[in-house]
Structure 1
């Protein structure tokens, strides 16, 4: 039974938590993580949140004191709070949902390795994260001790990669690989560095957002050691809201950049958190200030208990359309849907291209800046005219008048 404290008690509990945590020490942050049954000490919970905490069908609840400090204890609509605290929506398993909508397990030739694309694999290196985000698409595995990857499991994954020379790119994910001990992370990078046909390693980590102090000097030295002529190491993280773009987060990003690691952002479009144009534009402007390039904006996955986060597909298209012309191209993410059934990612763009009018050999485009229609010619002798969607006579005349 969750006992609700008063606002003054909540604020006092927060102050006590923050003061007993060695703030810049990642170990202390992890040791003082707040679990589900403790949330009533740090938030004025709604009835929906109480149900979510007690009846969630998703992963465990946990947050670092640092990430908790970014949240509002009294506002249930606080975007950070929404990513920390379950709601009643998490207690509902809808008919369209699946624990593994991308069929990663079907595409897993050995434990912890997903081979969906011919030349790329995803390595599930770790079941643990600093914060268990409520929208996590891998909630069937993350936070479960049954999914712990032993050294023997990782060795089997490396053997598979070694025996498949077409694999050039390994995404090291989880969980969060930067929650591994330093020596385990170094061993993984060393193994990948020594496989001749593996040229790219991408670290998928949310620690720059949820525990920036984990990006230590030693971690950076390890990454720099194996980021060489044999292996190019990249980092993809996940900032979802401008409130996450803190001074501490920027310092963590700069530490990675200084050892030659390019950092990209993979945001998730989340209902009530970032599903409006100005929030997403502000987020990506702040990310560019932090020297983080936009990479993906994900349409939410059909995972159990996720109905509270999912948005209409059109929302992502509208947001990316709105951003064009208001920020440099490197600040605009690709809106992607990771297709259910293991179909892989597809990009979904705004409809700037309107079609082709064969009589005049002209293409019609809608400008992101002026919103007017502009025209351009197809080369004489082109054999690609049948490739384009054709504009009718009536539609062509209408376009010419605008």
Structure 2
């Protein structure tokens, strides 16, 4: 039974939580994580949230005190709160949803490894995160002790990679790989560094956002040690809202940059959180200020209990179209859909290219800045005309140069 506390009681409970947490110590942050049964102490819950906490069909609830401090205790529409607290939509399993929409398990030759693309694999390093985001697309695995990756499981994964010389790129994800102990992280990076055909390692971690204090000098020294001529290490994180861009996160990002690790951002388009143009533009401006380059903007996956987060496909296209011309290209993410059924990622762009008019050999474009129509000629002798979508005579009359 969730007891409803007043706002004054919630504020006192937050103050007590924050004061007993050794703020800059990642271990203390993890030890003081707030679980589902405690959310009523730190939020004035809505009826929808109470139903969601009690009946969620997804992963466990947990947040660090740091990430909790970014949320509004009284506003159910607070974007950070929406990513922490379940709502009633999480209790609904729709017909179109699947626990594993990308069929990662079908594409898993050994436990904890997904081999979808010929030269790349995804290594599921662990099952734990600092914050269990409500939109997590691996809710079937994250927070479940049954999905714990033992050292023997990781050794089997490394053996598979060694025996497949076509694998050049390993994404280390989870859970959050930076929730592992330093020694385990060093072992994983050392193993990958010693496989001659593995050239790229990408760390998929949200800790720069949810637990920036985990980016310690010690972990940066480990990463720097194995970020060498044999292995290039990158980091992809997930900022979803400008409120997540704090001085603490910037300090964490700068530490990674100083040891030669390029940081990219993979945002998820989330209904009621960041599905408007100005929010997404502001987010990516702040990311560039932190020297984080835009990478992906994900269309939400069809996972159980996710109907409260999903947006029309057109929203992502409209947002990326709006951003063009208002921020440098390195601040504009690729809008991607990771196709259900294990089809891999595809990019979905705005319709700047309108087509080709064979009679004049001209391509027709729409400017992202002025919205006016512009023209360019196909080279003489080209054999690619059949590749382009054709413009009809009627359309040409509407657009042709005057």
What TM-score results when the alignment is normalised by the length of structure 1? 1.00
Whole-Å Cα distance in 2 between the matches of residues 370 and 203 of structure 1?
Answer: 39
Determine the structure 2 residue equivalent to 1:21.
21
Deviations, residues 219-274 of structure 1 (Å, cap 9, x unaligned): 00000000000000000000000000000000000000000000000000000000
The 3-state SS of whatever aligns with 1:141 is coil
Deviations, residues 16-38 of structure 1 (Å, cap 9, x unaligned): 00000000000000000000000
The 3-state SS of whatever aligns with 2:364 is strand
The 3-state SS of whatever aligns with 1:341 is coil
- What RMSD in Å do the two structures reach over aligned CA positions? 0.6
Unaligned runs of at least 5 residues, structure 2: none
The 3-state SS of whatever aligns with 1:364 is strand
1:76 positional shift: 0.2
Determine the structure 2 residue equivalent to 1:120.
120
The 3-state SS of whatever aligns with 2:400 is helix
Whole-Å Cα distance in 1 between the matches of residues 169 and 307 of structure 2?
Answer: 33
Deviations, residues 113-148 of structure 1 (Å, cap 9, x unaligned): 000000000000010000000000000000000000
Determine the structure 1 residue equivalent to 2:73.
73
Deviations, residues 262-291 of structure 1 (Å, cap 9, x unaligned): 000000000000000000000000000000
Deviations, residues 176-196 of structure 1 (Å, cap 9, x unaligned): 000000000000000000000
Whole-Å Cα distance in 2 between the matches of residues 323 and 158 of structure 1?
Answer: 41
Whole-Å Cα distance in 2 between the matches of residues 318 and 14 of structure 1?
Answer: 39
The 3-state SS of whatever aligns with 2:157 is helix
Whole-Å Cα distance in 2 between the matches of residues 380 and 119 of structure 1?
Answer: 37
1:401 positional shift: 6.5
1:400 positional shift: 2.1
Whole-Å Cα distance in 1 between the matches of residues 388 and 183 of structure 2?
Answer: 54
Deviations, residues 353-381 of structure 1 (Å, cap 9, x unaligned): 00000111000000000000000000011
Deviations, residues 327-362 of structure 1 (Å, cap 9, x unaligned): 000000000000000000000000000000011100
Whole-Å Cα distance in 2 between the matches of residues 142 and 7 of structure 1?
Answer: 32
Runs of 4 or more above 2 Å deviation: none
Whole-Å Cα distance in 2 between the matches of residues 46 and 344 of structure 1?
Answer: 38
The 3-state SS of whatever aligns with 1:218 is helix
The 3-state SS of whatever aligns with 1:266 is strand
The 3-state SS of whatever aligns with 1:140 is coil
The 3-state SS of whatever aligns with 2:51 is helix
Whole-Å Cα distance in 2 between the matches of residues 142 and 153 of structure 1?
Answer: 16
What TM-score results when the alignment is normalised by the length of structure 2? 1.00
1:152 positional shift: 0.1
The 3-state SS of whatever aligns with 1:401 is coil
Deviations, residues 83-106 of structure 1 (Å, cap 9, x unaligned): 000000000000000000000000
1:295 positional shift: 0.1
